[in-house]
A and B are shown apart, each in its own frame.
Chain A
Amino acid sequence: MTPTATANTTLPYRRAGFSSVPEMLDYAARGETGVNFFDPRGRLTAALTWREVRDRAHVFARRLIGAGFARGERLLITADTWPGFMVSFFGAQYAGLLPVPVSLPAGLGGKDAYLDQLRRQLSASGAVAALATDELAGYLTAAAEGSAARLVGPMSAFEALPEKPVDLRPWGAGERCYLQFSSGSTRFPLGVDIRQDALMANIAGQIGDNGLAVSAQDHLTSWLPLYHDMGLIGFMLAPLASQRAVDYLSSRDFARRPLQWLALMSQRRASVTYSPSFGYDLTTRRAQTQAIDGLDLSCVRIAGIGGDMIQPNVLSRFAERFGPAGFSAGAFMPSYGMAEVCLALSFGKLGDGFHIDDVDRQQLSEERVATPVPESESSRTFVLCGLPLPGHPVEIRDEAGKTLPERRVGRIFAQGPSIMAGYFEAPEASAEALKNGWLDTGDLGYWLDGQLVVTGRAKDLIIVNGRNIWPQDIEWSVEELPQLRRGDVCAFSIDAEDGAESIVVVVNAWPAKDDARTALVGAAQQIVKETVGVDCVVQLLSPSIGLPMTSSGKLSRSRARTRYLAGEYANGGRRPVPVAT
């Protein structure tokens, strides 16, 4: 088996300018590039040219149409990184069905929670058909019992449908495209109604000169999950819009062997990749104990960062570790976006790396002003997230809705052709997010030299005595304790009896000994006091309970708060100690 070509020989390079996903695939199918799947040892397991993807998608589409599925109905797909995902996703595009990519089970003993999540997603999307990888077909079948789905199973169940000589009915300009479950809660999943027009506009921005400036020489590598907009749009649909080849490593394999991500890029001379901060962190950590001889990352033109709050220290450590392997820190490209704009809203400058802004912590919290200061104990560091995409006005507004000037912190609103039409069949949630044609991103930020600086989620902001405190400030500083890891801490506020807010810090650790627990609580309180200058309650939580996450794997502070208030975290959330009889 050999990988597909990484460049087309005769097909003229076309960067965006298509009207729909089927039109993009029809065009790319005239060349030799395509998608390649690698296992955790870097061995090629499958390779499909875009032409093969299209041909198989056509067959899949005729089966769906022949089976009587109506235009606009939904097809749920477990979005593992496998060729069947591409075939079914694009098959649905040619059949006029809406694909609904969903995530994979989380880990040991996670079956019940996963089935529950599938049931909610089946119900929220009203899926009439549901396709799983072979290994998850049993779960999906169990979850779909009693749902609206008429056909549920692995690829073989769909391949058993007769391929009838029916006309394809591809989605066209202005029509729907797919449903993207956003990072909302897993309990009430919200599917962003992604439309062809918005998608085309956002992709044009992503790969255009103000974004990644993708050229006919570029070749992409990704381990990002395909149920997330950054993986699906950024590393499947945007490469398709520019006829690029993509090499995939599954997210699970990346977690197992993060260095294989870099090895794959090095071997295949890939030029563009992306990851949230935690991916750079994981890779750097693994490289502390593993040799990286032979890695040559001088081919990496863009190492994008998105999907979580960008952590400058993590990026610096990555650049330091992999600099000797040819990695250039200039390749870092901070960006900001969300599924509600398809994917991207702003990008840093090409080749410029990342830039930070140290601001005074006190003025930030008390006056919502980002005043530049030298880095110190009392400063807070943010990464600049670049310029908004052309044609996408962005405003930062105060609580009264007034637009704010540079260095004043407020809520980020966006407008433009990439903005979603709404959440699928959720008018209330849509009306809350879309106001007079503007998207309320729910994020806070400020302007600096025309660049957006994102400071955090508005709803997570903690306000104590009129001061704004960012939960990340608390979390990141407490996580510096030697016995804790990144992601072990969750900070939020609760209403105290006098109507003020007080801070609760939940720490995902439960040392076996009483005095070790007392010491950890004391150390955490001390750090919070030093960092943000307020007292707090520290609640230790048994790691077997774990902090709640959203469906896209981000910490859910609001659910942690709900559980804390419900008393679920008392005694570390452990089962009550049985009374001796």
Chain B
Amino acid sequence: MRASHKFKVYEFADDAMSDAPTVTRDDVRADICRRLDPFRTDARPITGATVITKDLNIDSLAVMDMVMELEDTYDISIPLNVVAEIHTVDELTDTVLKIRGER
């Protein structure tokens, strides 16, 4: 629902990707891996199979911050119940693509 009231809409985040025509699965996965890179526990690279809340040195607040950044970047909103079932990088990647496709 778009607002018809007269107040200015404040944009507090850059929506760099929101108007990009297409993003591929590889793009999204690479983006997520890049965002998670600071939380690696050892030399092993982050892959699609990485379990975000178990294999990484990341707390729940930082995870949610990252999810919110993804939502802003791709101009989507991931429902709470869907978020609660995501464990791996691939699951998060597919969720982003799926919801983006439904816009």
Q: List the interface of chain A (C-beta within 8 A of B).
A: 1-3, 41-46, 80, 104-111, 114, 135-136, 138-139, 252, 255-257, 259-260, 263, 267-268, 286, 290, 294, 485, 487-488, 508, 510-512, 542-544, 546
Q: Establish whether residues A43 and B2, one from each chain, have CB atoms under 8 Å apart when the complex forms.
A: yes
Instruction: Tell me the complex Cα distance, A152–B95, Å.
Output: 27
Q: Establish whether residues A508 and B1, one from each chain, have CB atoms under 8 Å apart when the complex forms.
A: no
Q: Establish whether residues B85 and A42, one from each chain, have CB atoms under 8 Å apart when the complex forms.
A: no
CB nearest neighbor in B for A140? B81
Q: Establish whether residues A110 and B84, one from each chain, have CB atoms under 8 Å apart when the complex forms.
A: yes
CB contact between B85 and one of A109, A255, A485, A488 (< 8 Å): that residue: A109
CB contact between A544 and one of B12, B57, B72 (< 8 Å): that residue: B57
CB nearest neighbor in B for A105? B84
List of B residues within 8 angstroms of A136 by Cβ:
80-81
Tell me, rounded to whole Å, the shortest Cβ–Cβ distance linking A118 to chain B. 12
12 A-B residue pairings within 8 Å (CB atoms): A42-B10, A107-B60, A108-B63, A108-B87, A108-B92, A109-B52, A111-B81, A259-B10, A260-B10, A267-B7, A286-B12, A542-B57
CB contact between A107 and one of B40, B41, B57, B64 (< 8 Å): that residue: B64
Q: Establish whether residues B68 and A41, one from each chain, have CB atoms under 8 Å apart when the complex forms.
A: no
- Given known A-B contacts A108-B60, A267-B7, A543-B59, A135 and B68 have beta carbons under 8 A apart: no
List of B residues within 8 angstroms of A294 by Cβ:
8, 10
Tell me, rounded to whole Å, the shortest Cβ–Cβ distance linking B102 to chain A. 14
Cβ of B47 within 8 Å of any chain A Cβ, yes or no, is no
Q: Establish whether residues B57 and A104, one from each chain, have CB atoms under 8 Å apart when the complex forms.
A: no
Tell me, rounded to whole Å, the shortest Cβ–Cβ distance linking A68 to chain B. 30
Tell me, rounded to whole Å, the shortest Cβ–Cβ distance linking A273 to chain B. 16
Main secondary structure on B side of the interface with A: loop
CB nearest neighbor in B for A3? B5
List of A residues within 8 angstroms of B57 by Cβ:
510-512, 542-544
CB nearest neighbor in B for A549? B60
Cβ of B58 within 8 Å of any chain A Cβ, yes or no, is yes
Instruction: Tell me the complex Cα distance, A139–B82, Å.
Output: 11
Q: Establish whether residues B5 and A139, one from each chain, have CB atoms under 8 Å apart when the complex forms.
A: no
Q: Establish whether residues A255 and B54, one from each chain, have CB atoms under 8 Å apart when the complex forms.
A: no
CB nearest neighbor in B for A266? B10
CB contact between B67 and one of A1, A108, A510 (< 8 Å): that residue: A108
List of A residues within 8 angstroms of B87 by Cβ:
108-109
- Given known A-B contacts A107-B60, A109-B87, A114-B84, A2 and B5 have beta carbons under 8 A apart: yes
Total number of residue pairs linking A and B with CB closer than 8 Å? 119
Q: Establish whether residues B60 and A546, one from each chain, have CB atoms under 8 Å apart when the complex forms.
A: yes
**Per-residue interface assignment for chain B, residues 49 to 78, with 1 indicating a CB less than 8 Å from any chain A CB and 0 otherwise:** 000111111111111100110011000000
Instruction: Tell me the complex Cα distance, A136–B41, Å.
Output: 33
List of B residues within 8 angstroms of A46 by Cβ:
1
List of B residues within 8 angstroms of A290 by Cβ:
12
Instruction: Tell me the complex Cα distance, A487–B4, Å.
Output: 40
Instruction: Tell me the complex Cα distance, A3–B3, Å.
Output: 10
Q: List the interface of chain B (C-beta within 8 A of A).
A: 1-5, 7-13, 40-42, 52-64, 67-68, 71-72, 79-87, 92
Most buried by A among B1, B59, B61, B72: B59
Q: Establish whether residues A42 and B84, one from each chain, have CB atoms under 8 Å apart when the complex forms.
A: no
Instruction: Tell me the complex Cα distance, A252–B61, Å.
Output: 12
CB contact between A42 and one of B9, B71, B81, B86 (< 8 Å): that residue: B9
Tell me, rounded to whole Å, the shortest Cβ–Cβ distance linking B7 to chain A. 4
Q: Establish whether residues B86 and A109, one from each chain, have CB atoms under 8 Å apart when the complex forms.
A: yes
Q: Establish whether residues B1 and A45, one from each chain, have CB atoms under 8 Å apart when the complex forms.
A: yes
CB nearest neighbor in B for A108? B63
A1-B5, A43-B9 known, 11 other contacts, Cβ within 8 Å: A44-B5, A105-B84, A107-B64, A109-B52, A111-B84, A139-B84, A286-B12, A294-B8, A511-B57, A542-B57, A543-B62
Instruction: Tell me the complex Cα distance, A187–B101, Å.
Output: 39
Most buried by A among B4, B55, B58, B80: B80
Q: Establish whether residues A508 and B59, one from each chain, have CB atoms under 8 Å apart when the complex forms.
A: yes
CB contact between B81 and one of A135, A508, A511 (< 8 Å): that residue: A135
- Given known A-B contacts A108-B64, A109-B53, A135-B79, A41 and B84 have beta carbons under 8 A apart: no
Q: Establish whether residues B59 and A544, one from each chain, have CB atoms under 8 Å apart when the complex forms.
A: yes
Tell me, rounded to whole Å, the shortest Cβ–Cβ distance linking A544 to chain B. 5
Tell me, rounded to whole Å, the shortest Cβ–Cβ distance linking B17 to chain A. 16
Q: Establish whether residues A135 and B1, one from each chain, have CB atoms under 8 Å apart when the complex forms.
A: no
CB nearest neighbor in A for B13? A257
List of B residues within 8 angstroms of A114 by Cβ:
84
CB nearest neighbor in B for A289? B12
Q: Establish whether residues A512 and B81, one from each chain, have CB atoms under 8 Å apart when the complex forms.
A: no
CB nearest neighbor in B for A43? B3
List of A residues within 8 angstroms of B7 by Cβ:
42, 267-268
- Given known A-B contacts A108-B64, A255-B68, A546-B60, A41 and B52 have beta carbons under 8 A apart: no
Q: Establish whether residues B3 and A1, one from each chain, have CB atoms under 8 Å apart when the complex forms.
A: yes
Q: Establish whether residues A510 and B1, one from each chain, have CB atoms under 8 Å apart when the complex forms.
A: no
Q: Establish whether residues B3 and A267, one from each chain, have CB atoms under 8 Å apart when the complex forms.
A: no
Q: Establish whether residues B63 and A510, one from each chain, have CB atoms under 8 Å apart when the complex forms.
A: no
List of B residues within 8 angstroms of A485 by Cβ:
61
- The list of the 4 closest CB pairs from A to B, nearest first, reads A543-B59, A43-B3, A111-B84, A135-B79
Q: Establish whether residues A109 and B84, one from each chain, have CB atoms under 8 Å apart when the complex forms.
A: yes
Instruction: Tell me the complex Cα distance, A472–B58, Å.
Output: 24
List of B residues within 8 angstroms of A512 by Cβ:
40-42, 57
Q: Establish whether residues B54 and A544, one from each chain, have CB atoms under 8 Å apart when the complex forms.
A: yes
CB contact between A257 and one of B12, B56, B82 (< 8 Å): that residue: B12
Tell me, rounded to whole Å, the shortest Cβ–Cβ distance linking A514 to chain B. 11
Instruction: Tell me the complex Cα distance, A45–B1, Å.
Output: 6
Instruction: Tell me the complex Cα distance, A510–B57, Å.
Output: 7
Q: Establish whether residues A41 and B85, one from each chain, have CB atoms under 8 Å apart when the complex forms.
A: no
Instruction: Tell me the complex Cα distance, A108–B87, Å.
Output: 7
- Given known A-B contacts A108-B84, A546-B60, A260 and B52 have beta carbons under 8 A apart: no
Q: Establish whether residues A255 and B64, one from each chain, have CB atoms under 8 Å apart when the complex forms.
A: yes
CB nearest neighbor in B for A257? B12
